[in-house]
Chain A
Amino acid sequence: MNHWITIPVVLPALTAAVLVLLLRSGILVQRVLSVASTIALLAVAIGLWSLSMEGPRAYLIGSWPAPFGIVLVLDRLSALMLLLTSIIACAAVLYSIMGWDTRGRHFHALFQFQLLGINGSFLTGDVFNLFVFFEVMLIASYGLVLHGGGPWRLKAGFQYVAINLIASTMFLFAVGLMYGVTGTLNMADLAVKVAKLPTGDHALLAVSAVLLFAVFAVKCALVPLHWWLPNTYSAGPAPAIALFAVLTKVGAYAIIRVHTLVFGADALAISGLLQQLLFSAAILTLVLGAVGVLASRTMLDLASYSIIASMGTLLVASVGLEPRQLAAALYYLLHSTLTGAALFLLVDVIAAARGQAIDKLVPNMAVPRATLLGGLFLLAGMAMVGLPPLSGFVGKIVILDSMRGTSVALVAWTAILSTSLLLLVGYARAGSTLFWKSGTVRPAQGQVRSLRVAPVTIVGCLLAATVALSVFGGAVMTAMDATAREILKPDGYIRAVLDPAVLAER
């Protein structure tokens, strides 16, 4: 067993615990520790990504044999998600040490706990353990949303906590049903048992699958379970929200993982049912997100609805269990996470620079360094909308191309192309209001704000990453293709987790 697999879970857990103890030692120590730990996490994630090339491998916690103990499983998909998370986390933690972390206490501890939850969700190979890691991730995110305080955060936080508690309860119902029907909660074992389920139990399992799907749909803000996202993402502190760009992807990851592994292509009729549900919800999400972008009155709404629209695009592509579509969806996942995080940080920078107009989309006094900020906004907008030459364009092209010839191609093409136009109009309107129409209002005394270099640099780096994603598109797509092929052939995963003797028995 390779013990490095546990590091993405153990390292943030230890760091967070030490950070809580260091509360009285001043913010500097906390910052150094938090940043160092996050960078170490990035290094480990890169190492695990190269390790995952050798095929899926399991880590049996406490050496209890699967399916009796809890397993962590590293395969290409989980390694990819770990790598993405640690990149975003580095950007977010560096952004937070410029001041956001002093608006309340325990920012860094909560941040590390959130990383623990996210990394655990990606690594775990057990459905109930997935629930536990979801809860760890969520309870840290509740704290992060409330960081800084204020009535607005409390109200938005209450709604966010309430919807997630309902989702957690549904998760438990689904897990209970699944255990009642199959007698196991280990994902690899479930995959084996679901395929051999007696016909009488199919309906119960289908109920469990749909409940589970609804829970993941809440996490990734699928219509009609999306309404919590704009309020929550507008309320939280910017660096935390940048990390939340990964949070929605945890839902998408869970859908892809459970769908391909447990309810795989040949498992009964459940896969077809899930695909139908997912496709219609994803199309609706895409349309509603685009309309939301067009109708938004603040930059935060604009960014939030862009996230919703990008989740729609991603999930439209991940509907078909085809390697090409799934590879395209994974590429788009990378792109939309990086762009979403960059966009939320950029909104924070621009809104701070605009003084009292904050993030409202109304003409106001000229933004300082308008060329630089406007240029970055243009880049972020282009990436989000999907204009060449940035990664959004490449992502949408590969999605459109992979859908060609499928039965849903017409609907998917129409939806993706027409919503791209809506997004384009929305971003053009927002950008021209912010940067071209501004300057009409003369700044009052003391309202002109200077712009600091470091926050802008971080936004620039994230946007540069999306450019890199586009420049090295071929290499990235090859890796995504390999990942998609691996998760569509769950045999390797199952054999990595279950002992051959156990497997022969089943």
Chain B
Amino acid sequence: MELLVASAIGMLTAVGVYLLLRRRTLPVIVGLSFLSYAVNLFLFAMGRLTIDQPPILTPDRTSYTDPLPQALVLTAIVISFGMTALIVVLALRGYLETGSDDAAIRDDDLVRDFGSDPRAGK
């Protein structure tokens, strides 16, 4: 089982890193999702791999599974879910406003506004 879990984490990370190196926004987002799956599995495995054990320590039990990584994974899943939603919206808005899903910034994107007066930058 160790080999299976370890190679799964490795594969997911490799796919994630490969996709992150793309220049367009959607592959980057998919890559980020793969990385977060990898890290979730990794966190889970850090409580040691045990099967069929309860995550509670009672006086009559000698073996149990570590509940803390499960709590950590839950938090990490929620956070990465929120972040993925945000970055998808961001990429979509960027695509709709500039007409390209290129992740790079071009010089003609450079329209900025300054000053505390709301009308000044227009």
Contact of B114 among A102, A150, A231, A351 (CB under 8 A): A351
Q: List 9 A-B contacts (CB under 8 A).
A: A96-B116, A151-B98, A154-B90, A158-B25, A165-B87, A172-B76, A175-B43, A176-B46, A455-B116
CB distance from A459 to the nearest CB of B (A): 11
A371 to B79, CA, bound (A): 49
Which of B104, B113, B121 has the most A CB atoms < 10 Å from its CB? B113
* A359 touching B117, Cβ below 8 Å: no
Number of A-B contacts (CB under 8 A): 141
Q: Which residues of A lie under 8 Å from residue B82 when comparing CB positions?
A: 139
Bound together, the chains give a CA A96 to CA B42 distance in angstroms of 43
For the complex, give the distance between the alpha carbons of A293 and B59 in Å: 65
- In whole angstroms, what is the CA distance A128 to B46 when docked? 14
- A: residues with CB less than 8 A from B are 95-96, 98-100, 102-103, 128, 132, 135, 139, 142, 146, 148, 150-152, 154-159, 161-162, 165-166, 168-169, 172-173, 175-177, 179-180, 231, 234-235, 238, 300, 347-349, 351-353, 358-359, 449, 452, 454-455
User: In the complex, what residues of B have CB within 8 A of residue A165's CB?
Assistant: 32, 36, 80, 83, 87
User: CA–CA, A231 to B103, complex, Å?
Assistant: 13
Chain A CB count within 10 A is highest, among B90, B120, B121, for B90
Cβ of A161: which chain B residues have Cβ within 8 Å of it?
83, 86-87, 90
The reply to whether A162 and B117 contact each other, CB–CB distance below 8 Å, is no
Residue ID in chain A nearest B33 by CB atoms: A165
**Could you say which residues of chain A place their CB within 8 Å of the CB of B47?**
179-180
The answer to whether B110 has its CB under 8 Å from any CB of chain A is yes
Contact B87 A176 (CB under 8 A): no
| Interface set, chain B 23-76, CB cutoff 8 A to A | 25, 28, 32, 35-36, 38-39, 42-43, 45-48, 68-69, 72, 75-76
B83 and A98 contact, CB distance less than 8 A: no
Contact of A152 among B46, B76, B112 (CB under 8 A): B112
A319-B36 Cα distance, complex, nearest whole Å: 32
A222, B87: Cα distance in complex, Å: 24
Residues of B whose CB lies within 8 Å of any CB of A are 20, 25, 28, 32, 35-36, 38-39, 42-43, 45-48, 68-69, 72, 75-76, 79-80, 82-83, 86-87, 90-91, 93-94, 97-98, 103-105, 109-118, 120-121
- Distance in angstroms from A399 CB to nearest chain B CB is 33
Known: A139-B82, A151-B98, A158-B103. A100 touches B72 (CB 8 A): no
Assembled-state Cα–Cα distance A96/B25 (Å): 31
Q: How far is the CA of A333 from the CA of B10 in the complex (A)?
A: 39
With A151-B94, A162-B28, A231-B105 known as contacts, the answer to whether A351 contacts B83 (CB < 8 A) is no
| Bound CA span A180–B98, Å | 45
Q: Which residues of A contact B38 (CB under 8 A)?
A: 169
Question: Which of chain B's residues has its CB closest to A148's CB?
Answer: B113
Is the CB–CB distance between B98 and A162 below 8 Å?
Answer: no
Q: Are A172 and B43 in contact (CB under 8 A)?
A: yes
Taking the closest CB of chain A, its distance from the CB of B78, in whole angstroms, is: 10
Closest Cβ–Cβ distance, residue B71 to chain A (whole Å):
9
Set of chain A residues within 8 Å of B97, measured between Cβ atoms: 150-151, 154
Given A152-B109, A162-B87, A166-B35, CB of A176 within 8 Å of CB of B115: no
Which residues of chain B are within 8 angstroms of A347 by Cβ–Cβ distance? 114
7 closest A-B pairs (Cβ-Cβ)? A352-B115, A98-B116, A180-B46, A351-B114, A154-B94, A99-B116, A352-B114
Q: Contact: B117 with A99, CB < 8 Å? A: yes
Asked whether, in the complex, the Cβ of A152 is within 8 Å of the Cβ of B105, the reply is yes
Q: Name the A residues within 8 Å of B75 (CB-CB).
A: 128, 132
Asked if B118 and A99 sit within 8 Å, CB to CB, the answer is yes
A139 touching B42 in the complex, CB below 8 Å, given contacts A148-B113, A166-B35: no
Q: By CB atoms of chain A within 10 A, which of B35, B38, B103, B104 has the most? A: B35
- Which B residue sits closest to A181, measured CB to CB? B46
Question: When chains A and B are docked, how far (Å) is the Cα of A172 from the Cα of B104?
Answer: 27
Residue in contact with A352 in the complex, picked from B42, B48, B90, B117, CB distance below 8 Å = B117
Smallest beta-carbon distance A82→chain B, Å: 24
A352 touches B109 (CB 8 A): no
A-side contacts of B113, CB under 8 Å: 103, 148, 150
Residues from chain A with a CB closer than 8 A to the CB of B105 are: 152, 155-156, 159, 231
Whether A352 pairs with B98 at a CB distance below 8 angstroms is no
Chain B contacts of A352 at CB under 8 A?
114-117, 120-121
Which of A142, A156, A175, A454 has a CB less than 8 Å from the CB of B86? A142
